[in-house]
Amino acid sequence: MSDEREQAKWAAARAASTLVESGMVVGLGTGSTAIKFLDLLAERVRREGLEITCVATSEGIGREAGIRGLPMVSGFPDFGPVDLTVDGADEVDPAGNLIKGGGGALLREKLVALASRRVIIVVDPEKHVPELGHTFRLPVEVVPFGWSRTLEALEGLGAEPEIRRQGEGFFRTDQGNLVVDCRIPGIPDPASLHARIKGLSGVVETGLFPGLAHAILTGHPDGTWDLRELKATGAA
């Protein structure tokens, strides 16, 4: 990854870290920009005595939070309302619809987003696309039982599905499910496609996040950033 892109990610993460206030329940996203946010948030906690509790969107990010001394909410992995979630995305279209799940945490990321009063998506400029699906395959989480039949059903919707692998075997999510990465020639209506895929037996969740972001925070290589507010529907 280029130095310029890294600088853009840090700019987005730094801006997002300033949005956290003492007393908040904070959703911790999974991904390269989200981990930078985690570092900066932990620094604020140490330096300012910021009092927060956290909800992690993956086992990995939960471990990283623990290493940095960030506490999880009481009863985690169960959780209630979340004040602010900061997460990344693999693609963002002009309407603020997202593709997520490159790291395999799409189900937990969506559950936390749906519980959040405000969802801020932190990205670098390269994550912005005119239409979803052209540059990044759509992740779909499926149960292991009968997975080949689920792939056939995805093909029936016009996708080119490929099961995600890790080493010699299949990639497994934190729930023990599989991820199918689907090549789709453009997604002009993310909400409709999400509903069609989610309706297939064997599908647990899709990496389409239509209408869940409240704002897109884009960092730039020169250290500046911009925040675009959206009208989130919270219906995905």
What pTM was computed for the model?
Answer: 0.95
CATH of domain 138-204: 3.30.70.260
Beta strands in the chain (DSSP E): 25-28, 53-56, 84-87, 91-92, 98-99, 119-123, 138-142, 160-163, 165-166, 169-170, 178-183, 203-206, 208-209, 215-219, 225-229
pLDDT reported for residue 1 = 60
Tell me the C-alpha distance between 103 and 134, whole Å. Answer: 18
Tell me the domain boundaries of the chain. 3-128+210-222, 138-204
Give me the sign of the Cα torsion angle 91, 2, 216, 106. positive
**Is 3-128+210-222 a domain of CATH 3.40.50.1100?**
no
pLDDT reported for residue 112 = 98
Tell me the C-alpha distance between 15 and 167, whole Å. Answer: 36
Residue 119 has phi, psi (to 5 degrees) of -120, 115
Active site residues: 109
Tell me the C-alpha distance between 85 and 26, whole Å. Answer: 6
Those residues of the chain that have pLDDT short of 50 are none
Helix (H/G/I), strand (E/B), else coil: 35:
helix
> DSSP character for 18?
T
pLDDT reported for residue 2 = 80
Contact in structure between 142 and 164 (CB atoms under 8 Å) = no
Pairing between strand 91-92 and 203-206? unpaired
Q: Output the six-digit token pair for 203.
A: 């599908």
CB atoms < 10 A from the CB of 204, how many? Answer: 17
Q: Do domains 3-128+210-222 and 138-204 have the same CATH topology?
A: no
pLDDT in tens, 183-216: 998 999 999 999 999 999 999 999 999 999 999 9
- How far are the Cα atoms of 84, 123, 142, 196 from residue 205, in angstroms, in the given order? 22, 22, 7, 11
pLDDT reported for residue 231 = 84
Tell me the C-alpha distance between 106 and 198, whole Å. Answer: 13
Q: What contacts 63, CB < 8 A, 6 or more positions away?
A: none
Of 136, 161, 160, the residue nearest 147 (C-alpha): 161
Which string of b and e fits 19-42 if b means at least 16 CB within 10 Å?
A: bbeeebbbbbbbbbbbbbbbebbb
